[in-house]
Amino acid sequence: MRLTRELLTLLLLPTLALSGCGDRGAELGPDTLARAADFELTVEETANLIAPVADLPQDPAVVEALTDFWVDYTLLALVMTEEGALNALDLSAVTQQQLNQELVLLLRDQVIDVDAQVTDQELEEYFERERPGERVQARHILLSYPEGADQAQRDEVRELAIQLRDRAQAGEDFAALAAEYSDDPGSAARGGDLGFFQRGTMVPPFEEAAFTLEPGEVSDLVETQFGLHIIQVEDRETPTLEEVGEQLRQEIQMERTNVAESIFVAEIEEPADIQVVEGGLDRARELAESAEVALTQRERGQALVTFDGGEYTAGDYRWFLLNQPTQLRQQIAGAGDDQLDSMLRNLARGELLVQEAQRRGLTLPEGQEEELETSIRSQLQELAGILGLDDISPGEGQNVRDAVKERIDELMPRLVQGQQDVYPLGPLALALRENYSVQISMENMDRTAQRVAEIRAADPELETEGPDLDDPEALMEQLEMEDR
């Protein structure tokens, strides 16, 4: 038996990690790994789940992933079993960000007054001026300056370049000259041929010269950071207005809308005086590193950014982080001051736009919030059905809690043994974890991994080296071989 590819992939790729919240700094005693509502997952239970599965390494990362599944599936089973719990579930933690985005879009549609219609004459003038989609086929000869070259050496290179230019302009075989003299190893063997390229592909001085040449023409010397170039254009392709007109019209319309939108946002932002508070950058990094850790009421209200009439708080920022993949959170935690400052200001700018929409009395269409919540509840219902958690009922002598525990105890072994497909709840886990008490002991992750090692050592048939989590490519290659 082996672990499903999906679960191992989850453990290897941080972009797929669960974004649920909960108190991960909890002290639960040495024997308890997690508590969800009034259910407990012990170190021994988890170790006995992992130990028999040869493909599962005895690694705290594996323990944490399985713990997250246990928490979320237990809470999902509880919601599906308690009468009225699904409908009573507070979904504001999941819906608010999306609803705010919809509100800002309403604001944009109302206040951005831009004549986005592009007349045929404007389209023709733009086409003739910009020549969109035009591309040329060119050859070049590159002469590089020696590293640390003095003026005499630079003059020597330039003199040779002038000679080659004159020879090429006089009609000598350009490809032969490039093959003999060019310092560009990639194209010299092809007689300097660069193939076809569009604008925006080459460095600006080279591109500007190439697109001014007609087929057969040879340029003057063109200097870039790579050295001196001599260019010959061999062919030019220009699409017709009929071919690109509609796409071009849409691009111009979008550009006009974006300009108008930028002006509107600047008019709101400038008087607001957005300021990142002292220590705000350090706190933002800390939160990015530990977004799953629950904040106290006081911590949630801590301002990271202030602006006229409001502030962007640590609580707001945490919700933003919990809706991002783990990989992005890691990038945020390691970002430089300028990048992080810009990101926080952008987030605060979003709050300003929501406030502006509210100030103007804008509201979402009636029923939109309810429709979104209904969709989320349907997703939870569907996942519960797939996992077999939607039909739990107490047996003889059982209460509801006993029935839920029994079903989860049946599900988890199937999960780790590859008999049950893995379904991370992702952002849906936010709704569950915000409505129930969740505590996870990070300290006991290591203790559980050590216990797995002890169980395997005591039974040689269970002992396994396992795949190396430090070498994801090798492990993925192994998985692909197994799948075949």
DSSP symbols for 124-168? HHHHHHH-TT-EEEEEEEEEPPPTT--HHHHHHHHHHHHHHHHHH
Interhelix angle 92-111/337-359, rounded to 10 degrees, is: 70
Beta strands 135-143; 227-237: pairing state: antiparallel
Q: What pLDDT shows up at residue 295?
A: 77
Residue with tokens 């103007």: 360
Which of 237, 252, 278 terminates a domain? The answer is: 237
Residue 327 belongs to some domain of the structure: no
Sign of CA dihedral 295, 299, 304, 308: positive
28-47 residues labelled b (16+ CB within 10 A) or e (exposed): beeebbbbbbebbbbbebbb
The number of angstroms, rounded, from the C-alpha of 63 to the middle of its chain's C-alpha atoms is 25
End residue of a domain, out of 237, 261, 291: 237
Asked if 212 and 159 sit in the same domain, the reply is yes
Q: How many CB atoms lie within 10 A of CB 153?
A: 12
Helix (H, G, I), strand (E, B) or coil at 479: helix
Whether residues 76 and 146 fall in one domain: no
Q: Which residues contact 422 (CB under 8 A, 6 or more apart)?
A: 4, 6, 7, 10, 69, 415
CATH of the domain at 202: 3.10.50.40
Q: What is the pLDDT of residue 427?
A: 74
Do residue 77 and residue 156 come from a single domain?
A: no
* CB-based contacts of 476, cutoff 8 Å, min separation 6: 9, 12
Phi, psi (deg, nearest 5) at residue 183: -90, 5
The answer to whether residues 415 and 423 touch, using CB atoms and an 8 Å cutoff, is no
Both 162 and 225 in one domain: the answer is yes
Positions of the chain with pLDDT under 50:
1-20, 25, 463-484
Structure tokens at 418: 């590859």
Radius of gyration of the chain (CA): 31
Report yes or no: 110 and 362 within 8 Å, Cβ to Cβ: yes
What is the reported pLDDT for 80?
Answer: 94
Please tell me the total count of domains within the chain.
2
Do 381 and 438 have their domain in common?
yes
Q: Does the residue 126 lie in any domain?
A: no
Q: How far is residue 23's CA from residue 71's CA, in Å, rounded to a whole number?
A: 12
Measured CA to CA, the distance from residue 84 to residue 478 in angstroms comes to 46
Task: Tell me which residue of 213, 251, 257, 211 sits closest to 126, measured CA to CA.
Answer: 251
DSSP strands (E only) in 395-471: 438-440
Same domain, yes or no: 406 and 455: yes
* Edge-to-edge strand ranges of the sheet holding 227-237: 193-198, 135-143, 227-237, 222-224
195 in any annotated domain = yes
Would you say residue 343 lies in a domain? no
Q: Are residues 164 and 68 in the same domain?
A: no
Q: φ, ψ for residue 229 (rounded to 5)?
A: -115, 145
421 lies in some domain:
yes
Q: In the structure encoding, which two tokens stand for residue 292, read together?
A: 């799953």
pTM summary value: 0.57
Whether 259 is covered by a domain: the verdict is: no
Range of the domain at 206: 134-237
61 and 140 assigned to the same domain:
no
Question: Is the domain of 83 the same as that of 139?
Answer: no
Contact 157, 145 (CB under 8 A): yes
- Calculate the CA 355 to chain-centre distance: 27
pLDDT of residue 24: 52
The C-alpha angle with vertex 324 and arms to 323 and 328, in degrees rounded to 5, equals 165
The rounded Cα 295 to chain-centroid distance in angstroms is 24
Q: Would residue 249 count as lying in a domain?
A: no
Indicate whether 292 belongs to any domain: no
The secondary structure of 254-288 as a DSSP string is HHHHHHHHHHHHHHHHHHH--EEPTTHHHHHHHHH
What pLDDT is attached to residue 306? 95
DSSP strands (E only) in 314-454: 438-440
Domain final residue pick, 237, 270, 289? 237
Per the listing, tokens 């003199």 go with 159
Do 378 and 474 lie in one domain? The reply is yes
CA dihedral 283→287→289→293, nearest 10 degrees, is: 140
pLDDT value, residue 149: 92
Q: Choose among 476, 457, 469, 383: nearest CA to 426.
A: 383
Q: What is the DSSP letter of 234?
A: E
- Report yes or no: 384 and 390 within 8 Å, Cβ to Cβ: yes
